[in-house]
A and B are shown apart, each in its own frame.
Chain A
Amino acid sequence: MNSEPNQAAASLAALRAENRTRMYARAFWGLMVRDAHVLKREFVPFLSRTLMQPLLFVFVFAYLFPKIGQGFGGAAAAGAATAAGRATFATILLPGLMAVAIILQGIAAVALPLAVEFGGTREIEDRVMAPLPVAAVAFEKIVFSSFQSIIAASVVFPLAYYIPAQPVAVHINNWPLLIVIVILSSLTAGALGLTIGTAVKPQQIGLVFSMILVPLTFLGCVYYPWASLSVVRWLQVGVLLNPLVYISEGLRTCLTPNLPHLPTWGILLALVISGSILTLVGMRGFLRRVIS
């Protein structure tokens, strides 16, 4: 007797849930379309900020220095060489520069605009008023920034591959793993951007580069494989706190597997853990900033 109204109530609830999911999905998609529109309009500045640093880096250290005969990177290359045969500094550098490009997008695409919006313009308020949970607005930032990271990594690859004077040894044996690592890395970078963007005041923006980005990259196994740090053991352990290490090493695993690198399972686990923690912290920061 009772089952009919119960069924009706259940189907009504199911319908509501479906409508709600559709409402959220559409709003989320709307946010993505907006970000894509803005990126399209600002594609040239986006490309130049993405390309300039790796372009000059590769040109000076992997093209000019070998031509001049200066031995920069020789020790690292030699260290790697003992473990992996003939690896050039350019080979070490390729995954590293892609990792930097990925992390830099997280900061440039999420942290900087957010800090400005929270600090002064408050223009985020309209997006916060969209009909979806506020945490989803924050998550959209991470997702969209990860697309930018993927584009950035893709445009840095040919630079780091073709410009160096020395041969670059790239072997991609496991495409699915490469895709997984790139996606996880990009999401982690976006989450890091969200955490930074919601934590710093706009007047501290300058410090983000000097106090966060510079130490992250210099101690992020970008210019040397993690294994070669064994000569300075405390540093080798210490840098494991740096999420960029797993991005660099992850790309090294996939692109230059002949170089020594961290175990794959460890990289995946660390990326998932650091990505999740940064996402949670970033979302909490975002909620704190928009809801009082």
Chain B
Amino acid sequence: MSVAIHIERLVKVFGGTHEVRAVDHIDLQVPQGEIFGLLGPNGAGKTTTVGVCTTRVLPTDGRVLVHGVDVVSDPPRARKSIGVVTQHNTLDRACTAWDNIYFHCRYFGMPHTVARARADELLTQFRLGERARSLPGQLSGGMVQRLQLARALAHRPRVLFLDEPTAGLDPQSRLALWELVAGMRQSGVTVLLTTHYMEEADRLCDRVAIIDHGKILVCGPPAELKRGLGAQTVLALQLDPPSQELATTLRQLPGVTQVEVTATGLRLFASSRDGLIPRVAEAAQSYNLRDIAITEPTLETVFISLTGRELRE
């Protein structure tokens, strides 16, 4: 299978009064047809990485190839094979929904009749047919993102970059957008999406790279990353106050693989649930235990176990 996105030792340092190393030696290969997720908190370097891949940010070092085309040495040709949806509304405010797609097609060289047919087709496909003549300002947040997605696909790119595509959307619109992205699996389009919603990465992506402070911490299929924790259950204990001493005690319990002190209590990773909760409750009794929450491991817990922080902190 051919490589759609090849990122090699990518570094981006933003100058100015405070030098910021936004991307710090990232290596990544995304094969054609994969839906790949960059998961990390705000400021982790996701948007900058996508910015370089989509020719809008010049890298300080390293290189990025999109289907073999170097994005720095030949941006126009690279742009031919990529579609982009950013987290901002970049729709042309002076043009209607239909015009936005039509003119996008014209920029990519389609003649009038082909562009017209493509605009009609995409608006119908993305359930925006009735809003064809609306200006972007008259569309809801969910419609705006659907239209941006339709526009990004209009010139039939081989690689689609979605930068926080569902940020700020209501749950219903988010689900609708997820369906559309998941539907791309059939079309063979490679998708690289950035997100700080672990559920989004978990549900949509074939593989996920967890990124923090400009570095990739782990990369693999979501299920594999969660298995890598060696835990099947995660317990969150609310204590007043959090206790280091209790953490030491709990680590001795059978099946417990890891215990962390958090701001509100303890977080406990365990390989088995059998008889665990009574034992934990008993041990924690004298430490002002307020609440116990049991969860399956998620990509969020993977992130927490790697960085000790929560994704949305």
> Are A129 and B54 within 8 A (Cβ)?
yes
- Minimal Cβ-Cβ distance residue in A for B136: A123
A58 to B95, CA, bound (A): 35
A37 to B99, CA, bound (A): 9
B75 at the interface (CB under 8 A from A): yes
What residues of chain B lie closer than 8 Å to A125, measured between beta carbons? 56, 84, 86, 88, 90
Known: A42-B94, A122-B86. 14 other contacts (CB 8 A): A20-B76, A20-B77, A23-B76, A34-B99, A41-B94, A123-B90, A123-B92, A125-B84, A126-B104, A126-B151, A127-B92, A129-B54, A130-B108, A131-B77
> Are B91 and A128 within 8 A (Cβ)?
no
B80 at the interface (CB under 8 A from A): yes
Q: Could you show 13 A-B contacts with beta carbons less than 8 Å apart?
A: A22-B109, A29-B106, A30-B108, A30-B109, A34-B99, A34-B103, A37-B95, A37-B103, A122-B86, A125-B56, A126-B107, A131-B77, A290-B56
- Minimal Cβ-Cβ distance residue in A for B79: A131
> Are A33 and B92 within 8 A (Cβ)?
no
Most buried by A among B51, B56, B89: B56
> Are B107 and A127 within 8 A (Cβ)?
yes
B227 at the interface (CB under 8 A from A): no
> Are B109 and A23 within 8 A (Cβ)?
yes
B57 at the interface (CB under 8 A from A): yes
A52 at the interface (CB under 8 A from B): no
Interface residues on B, range: 20 to 34
> Are B107 and A130 within 8 A (Cβ)?
yes
Most buried by B among A26, A123, A133: A123
Docked complex: A103-155 residues within 8 A CB-CB of B:
121-134
A26 to B104, CA, bound (A): 12
Q: Min CB distance, B51 to chain A, in Å?
A: 7
- Minimal Cβ-Cβ distance residue in B for A28: B107
A34 to B103, CA, bound (A): 6
A30, A38, A133: the one contacting B106 at CB < 8 Å is: A30
A123 to B137, CA, bound (A): 12
> Are B108 and A131 within 8 A (Cβ)?
yes
What residues of chain A lie closer than 8 Å to B104, measured between beta carbons? 126
A291 at the interface (CB under 8 A from B): yes
A30, A34, A122, A130: the one contacting B95 at CB < 8 Å is: A34
A interface vs B, CB < 8 Å?
Answer: 20, 22-24, 26-27, 29-31, 33-34, 37-38, 41-42, 121-134, 290-292
> Are A30 and B107 within 8 A (Cβ)?
yes
Q: Min CB distance, A25 to chain B, in Å?
A: 9
Q: Min CB distance, A16 to chain B, in Å?
A: 9
Per-residue CB proximity of B62-97 to A under 8 Å, as 1/0? 000000000000011101100010101111111100
B interface vs A, CB < 8 Å?
Answer: 14, 51, 54-58, 75-77, 79-80, 84, 86, 88-95, 99-100, 103-104, 106-109, 151
What residues of chain B lie closer than 8 Å to A37, measured between beta carbons? 95, 99, 103
Q: Min CB distance, A42 to chain B, in Å?
A: 8
Q: Min CB distance, A154 to chain B, in Å?
A: 24
What residues of chain B lie closer than 8 Å to A24, measured between beta carbons? 76
A252 to B204, CA, bound (A): 67
> Are A123 and B77 within 8 A (Cβ)?
no
A166 to B261, CA, bound (A): 90
> Are B88 and A128 within 8 A (Cβ)?
no
Q: Min CB distance, B128 to chain A, in Å?
A: 17
A126 to B108, CA, bound (A): 11
Q: Min CB distance, A79 to chain B, in Å?
A: 46
A122 to B151, CA, bound (A): 16
> Are A130 and B93 within 8 A (Cβ)?
no
What residues of chain B lie closer than 8 Å to A130, measured between beta carbons? 79, 107-108
A41, A129, A132: the one contacting B84 at CB < 8 Å is: A129
What residues of chain A lie closer than 8 Å to B108, measured between beta carbons? 26-27, 30, 130-131
> Are B99 and A131 within 8 A (Cβ)?
no
A23, A30, A33, A38: the one contacting B94 at CB < 8 Å is: A38
Task: Given the known inter-chain contacts A33-B103, A34-B95, please indicate yes or no for A26 contacting B90, CB distance below 8 A.
Answer: no
- Minimal Cβ-Cβ distance residue in B for A38: B94
Most buried by A among B14, B93, B95, B107: B107
Q: Min CB distance, B17 to chain A, in Å?
A: 16
Task: Given the known inter-chain contacts A27-B107, A129-B54, please indicate yes or no for A134 contacting B75, CB distance below 8 A.
Answer: yes
Q: Min CB distance, A284 to chain B, in Å?
A: 14
Task: Given the known inter-chain contacts A30-B107, A33-B106, A291-B56, please indicate yes or no for A126 contacting B79, CB distance below 8 A.
Answer: no
> Are A292 and B57 within 8 A (Cβ)?
yes
A38 to B106, CA, bound (A): 15
What residues of chain B lie closer than 8 Å to A290, measured between beta carbons? 56
Q: Min CB distance, B151 to chain A, in Å?
A: 7
A188 to B116, CA, bound (A): 35
A128 to B79, CA, bound (A): 10
Task: Given the known inter-chain contacts A30-B109, A34-B95, please indicate yes or no for A23 contacting B80, CB distance below 8 A.
Answer: yes
Q: Min CB distance, B161 to chain A, in Å?
A: 10
Q: Min CB distance, A113 to chain B, in Å?
A: 8
What residues of chain A lie closer than 8 Å to B90, measured between beta carbons? 121-126
Task: Given the known inter-chain contacts A30-B103, A34-B106, A131-B107, please indicate yes or no for A126 contacting B92, CB distance below 8 A.
Answer: yes
Task: Given the known inter-chain contacts A33-B103, A129-B84, please indicate yes or no for A292 contacting B79, CB distance below 8 A.
Answer: no
Q: Min CB distance, B165 to chain A, in Å?
A: 15
